[in-house]
Amino acid sequence: MLCLAVVANALMAAPVAARAANHPRVAPACTAKHKGPLDEKGFVMLGRIEQWVTVKGDSCANPIILFISGGPGNPLSPYSDAIYGQWAHEFTLVQWDQRGAGMTYGRNPPAEDSALTLEQMRDDGTELAAYLARRYGQKKVILWGSSWGSILGVSMAKAHPELFHAYLGTSQLVSYRENEATSYAGLLALARKAGDADALAVLEGVGAPPWSDPRSFGKVRRVVRKYESKVTTPPPAAWWKPASPYATPKALADYEAGEEYSFVNFVGMHGDGMYSRVDLPRLGTDFAIPMFFVEGAHDLLATPDVAQRYYESLHAPQKALALLEHAGHDPNQDVVDAEYRMLKERILPLVK
């Protein structure tokens, strides 16, 4: 079980990598004598609370991928084996239920007046990356982020590039104002062209962003899914059946409660949530690590034109962007296959 604290109060001021590397309680799981398979799950102390982490792979010697899932509040832990399980032959796959989500939410039900912040979750994530490198005998990890996870992932890459071989982003969000405005205008044009009275009623009812009603984002998200489904390949239905440890009544209830809590923190009760302050270009466009992107051509939420402008503005040791004709915001097999190609062709040579 992963039950080792990576932080002691006396070390809170130390750099994140040093905190994990120097803390004697971070027991190595991979040594010269043990390079075998990994299948670990449990709670790790991150940011002074216990957070759920799973680690799976065929060999300790394989590069680690730290998945930063979306939502926030939508951990991939229940679905990872179905979607990414085949990657375990070549990579060590790490899923993390972020603060306020999934099993972590169940372990640490937030106080009513508590709030998630991007800065705290960024620090949780970089602390986890340092812990993983130490525990599994690696110098760095590969950072993967999707949707909300792409905001958090870029923030982590910018804050502590020394922890990461490279960043791989998909459904890349960039800026609250630019993403929302571009998404809304594109949806409105599609609905008018189709004469879609139902979609127009929703879009005109919420009005143009920014929104002050937290329900507006969800209403528009349903229109996004409606139009993306017309032009994208659906994912296999088996992907979205939770694995048995996550299918208990308590686990399902915790997932749903964490999803609601995280969503409210994301959009805010008056349009003032975490997302309202997202502007990745303001972090700076110079990156010390390679930056790679896989984008759906029909992503109507994190539209590819915004992602591509951001990509073109970046200065990094290496960068590449793949645009997929039959993909939207949510993952499908085309997205997973393209991510795998990017890992094999562009990122693995950097690791080895």
User: Measured between alpha carbons, how far apart are the two ends of the chain, in Å?
Assistant: 29
Question: Nearest-CA neighbor of 278 among 155, 161, 159?
Answer: 155
pTM above threshold 0.85: yes
Contact 198, 190 (CB under 8 A): no
Give the C-alpha separation, 156 to 128, whole Å.
11
Give the residue with greater pLDDT, 111 vs 227.
Answer: 227
Task: Enter the tokens of residue 321.
Answer: 């962007």
Task: Enter the tokens of residue 89.
Answer: 């032959």
Residue 189 lies in a domain: no
Give the C-alpha separation, 140 to 351, whole Å.
9
Residue 272 lies in a domain: yes
Residue 37 sits in a domain whose CATH number is 3.40.50.1820
Question: In sequence order, which residues have a C-beta less than 8 Å from that of residue 184 and are 6 or more positions away?
Answer: 203, 208, 209, 220
Question: In sequence order, which residues have a C-beta less than 8 Å from that of residue 137 and are 6 or more positions away?
Answer: 28, 29, 30, 31, 60
Task: Enter the tokens of residue 147.
Answer: 């949707």
Name residue 340's amino acid.
Y
Overall average pLDDT of the 126-155 stretch: 97
Residue 242 structural domain:
9-176+235-351
Residue 31 lies in a domain: yes
**Each residue of 27-64: pLDDT tens digit?**
788 876 677 899 999 999 999 999 999 999 999 999 99
Give the C-alpha separation, 103 to 285, whole Å.
34
**For residue 164, is pLDDT > 50?**
yes
Dihedral of alpha carbons 20, 53, 343, 147, sign: negative
**Each residue of 203-232: pLDDT tens digit?**
999 999 999 999 999 999 999 999 999 999
Number of structural domains, the chain? 1
**For residue 23, is pLDDT > 70?**
no
Provide the 10 A C-beta neighbour count for residue 191.
21
Element at 168 (helix H, strand E): strand 164-170
Average pLDDT, the chain: 93
Residue 65 lies in a domain: yes
**For residue 1, is pLDDT > 70?**
no
Question: Nearest-CA neighbor of 70 among 50, 91, 98?
Answer: 98
Contact 91, 67 (CB under 8 A): no
**DSSP string across 78-119:** TTHHHHHGGGGGTSEEEEE--TTSHHHHHHSPPPTT----HH
Residue 222 lies in a domain: no
Dihedral of alpha carbons 278, 74, 306, 280, sign: positive
Residue 80 lies in a domain: yes
Name residue 334's amino acid.
D
Residue 191 lies in a domain: no
Give the C-alpha separation, 334 to 228, whole Å.
14
**Each residue of 243-270: pLDDT tens digit?**
999 999 999 999 999 999 999 999 999 9
Residue 183 lies in a domain: no
**DSSP string across 207-249:** -SSS-SSHHHHHHHHHHHHHHHTTTSPPPPGGGGS--GGG-SH
Cis peptide before 72 (omega within 30 of 0): yes
Residue 144: strand pairing partners: 67, 168
pLDDT at 16: 45
